[in-house]
Amino acid sequence: MLLMAALAVWQGRPVPVPEPPLQRLGCVSFAHPESALVFGRRPPVRQADLERELTRLRPWTDCIRIYSSDPRQAEVLPLARKLGLKVLLGAWINSHADTSHADLDSAIALARRYPGTVTALVVGNEVLTVKEMPIAALLPYLDEARRRSPVPVTIAEVWSVWLTYPQLADHVDFIGAHILPYWDGAPLSLPAALAEVETALQKVERRFPGKPILIAETGWPSGGRAKGGLAPGQVEQARFVRGVAALAARHGWRINLVEAYDQPWKRIPEGVAGGTWGLFDSAGRPKFAFAGAAVPERRWPLPLATTLLLGLWGGWRYGRRAWRAAALAPVLGALVGWQSLFLLDWVAGWGRAALALALLGGSLRMAWRGLRALARTETLAIPPPWAVAALWRRPGAVARALAEPGGLLCLYQCGALLLCLGESWQGPSDYYSLVLASPALAAALTGRAARPGPWSRRFGLLLALGGPFSIALSGGVVLQAWCWALVVLGLALPLLRRDQPGASSVSTSSRKRSHSADRSTSSSRALSTSPAMKARSMALNICPTRWAPALKAAPAAE
């Protein structure tokens, strides 16, 4: 318990970070931070909230970048003028000509209405990067903007796109280049990421000598999946921001940092990392100061509390008579606490919030039943997926089956396999090691296959191979991938070994239900062998821990 508690406290220690030579950033991308629970809806924004959010940025910068000129974004301009902030105003250009022209007209009108506040127009954001439209259709927008705009005009694209389409430079007043090492490659260290920024900008400078250049986006996330040998984090984010500020001071660069506030909606298309690029979280709390030490995890008291609570409960409940369960309790408590923090960063909308609560509840249930089984030297009998699928005629029986510890573990195994298969299709967006860690630990220590057989072992082998596959995709240097491989192996382990002879059932109530189920199974077979009666028989037998009678009543699967 002391080790797990020390780990949580260690995550809250101040870490020294080199001081930046500048006390302010050149510019910061700004968008109103919406709650993680309002994904898909855009509630009205109060002027007082916007003013408070912009005021927080004054110690950091005197310039903001906004990406559109629609009425919602335009509300920022009078407040920016009031607070003395300069604005890089965006016009959102896409394949829809009517909305693109409307946003461009609005941007030009706002630039004329707020002289001295709007300092440049950014006409389009990564239009060519995401192949929203061909360059021939894009250039007329840039030419029209330069003809009508009272301020300089550019387009923001990934730096490599400027090298691919050098003709863009003839249609803008300055270069707007995005340099994002986290998305562009797989840096093995933070110095390598900063060197990538420097190298990329030097390539653009050599290709367009004499052309003014703005780093229109650069930054680092404070959470999410690791890339290369470097994981996102608040300390890493602080080091990157200060490192970029040092490069800007050394070379005289203009930079725009992405972004001011975390945007939870980005967690859907980009994973956890997409929603954690802000200097402030979505509630307006700063992640680190512009100077001074940074803390790896500001929310460390939560895993500390769960570690102590479950550890003390395990010591009181089991003590010396079941020392293995007592020793495992604080470990499971720590895993539940860190899982809670991951799910807080993962939630985007009410649907994900409900799923997060279900996952957290499942982990707590598995922690409790795993400790109980370990203390009583019992096993959790895990059915094969096709045994649960055989109950499709009776949804209530499926729900009761999955509510049992063995059924829950079966569900976790299927979910882990789907996540592994998803990696092969589109690559990993996040590693869900913390979500499945406590069920995997319970499965590895107390789980057994309800009916060992060739198909169960093949399913377990396929699941176990998902771990090495993730390691291979990551290049073997991502610690998160190795942790995921251990979690997957823990879930697969019960399917790769036979049930121990003489192992007792999970609980007394399960024994009672099991004996009742045996009698019900015998009577149902005597009455009928129809699929409906077989499903009913399985429903009665699948909920207790004795899955073998249910499998006998199921269609042949193995």
Q: Which residues contact 339 (CB under 8 A, 6 or more apart)?
A: 359, 360, 363, 434, 435, 437, 438
- 19-275 has which CATH code? 3.20.20.80
- Predicted pLDDT at 396: 72
Instruction: Note the pTM of the prediction, 2 decimals.
Output: 0.85
Provide the pLDDT for residue 344: 92
Complete DSSP assignment for 18-41: PPPS-SSBSEEE------TT-TT-
pLDDT number for residue 349: 84
User: Cα 113 from chain centroid?
Assistant: 40
296 CB neighbour count, 10 Å cutoff: 16
The residues with which 86 forms a beta bridge, in sequence order, are: 63
Can you give the residue ranges of every domain in the chain? 19-275, 301-517+532-539
Count the helices and strands in the chain (H runs, E runs).
23, 10
Question: Cα dist. 183→16, 37, 186, 228, 273 in Å?
Answer: 26, 26, 8, 11, 10
Per-residue pLDDT of the chain (558 residues; tens, 9 = 90+): 888 899 899 999 999 998 777 678 999 999 998 877 776 566 778 899 999 999 999 999 999 999 999 988 999 999 999 999 999 999 999 999 999 999 999 999 999 999 999 999 999 999 999 999 999 999 999 999 999 999 999 999 999 999 999 999 999 999 999 999 999 876 678 889 999 999 999 999 999 999 999 999 999 999 998 887 778 999 999 999 999 999 998 889 999 999 999 999 899 889 999 999 999 999 999 999 888 899 999 999 999 999 999 999 988 888 877 888 999 999 999 999 999 999 999 998 888 899 999 999 988 988 888 898 888 888 888 887 777 666 666 767 667 766 778 888 888 998 999 898 887 766 657 889 999 999 999 999 988 887 777 888 888 999 999 989 888 888 777 888 899 999 999 999 998 875 444 344 444 344 444 444 444 444 444 434 444 444 444 444 444 444 444 444 444 433
DSSP, res 503: P
Give CA–CA dist 53/66, Å, rounded: 14
Residue with structure tokens 């102590």? 308
Q: How far apart are CA 542 and CA 518, in angstroms?
A: 11
Q: How many residues does the chain have?
A: 558
**Pairing relation of β-strands 175-178 and 153-158?**
parallel
Q: Which helix (H) or strand (E) holds 303?
A: helix 301-317
Residue 102 burial (C-beta neighbours within 10 Å; 0-12, 13-18, 19+): middle
Contacts of 300 (CB under 8 A, 6+ apart): 8, 9, 11, 12
Ramachandran angles phi, psi of 505, nearest 5°: -75, 175
CA distance 158 to 220: 15
127, 92 Cβ separation under 8 angstroms: no
Residue 481 CA to residue 226 CA, distance in Å, equals 9
How far, in Å, CA of 165 to CA of 186, rounded? 24
Strand ranges, E, within 143-297: 153-158, 175-178, 213-218, 254-257
Question: CA-CA distance, 284 to 280, in Å (whole number)?
Answer: 5
Q: How far is CA 217 from CA 54, 259, 379, 487, in A?
A: 19, 8, 54, 36
* 8 A C-beta contact, residue 365 and residue 54: no
Question: Closest Cα partner for 156 from 194, 127, 181?
Answer: 127
Cis omega before residue 75 (within 30°)? no
Spatial distance between the Cα atoms of 272 and 430, rounded to a whole number of angstroms:
7
DSSP assignment of 451-494? S--HHHHHHHHHHHHHHHHHHHHTTT--HHHHHHHHHHHHHHGG
Q: Can you tell me which residue has the tokens 């207790």?
A: 544
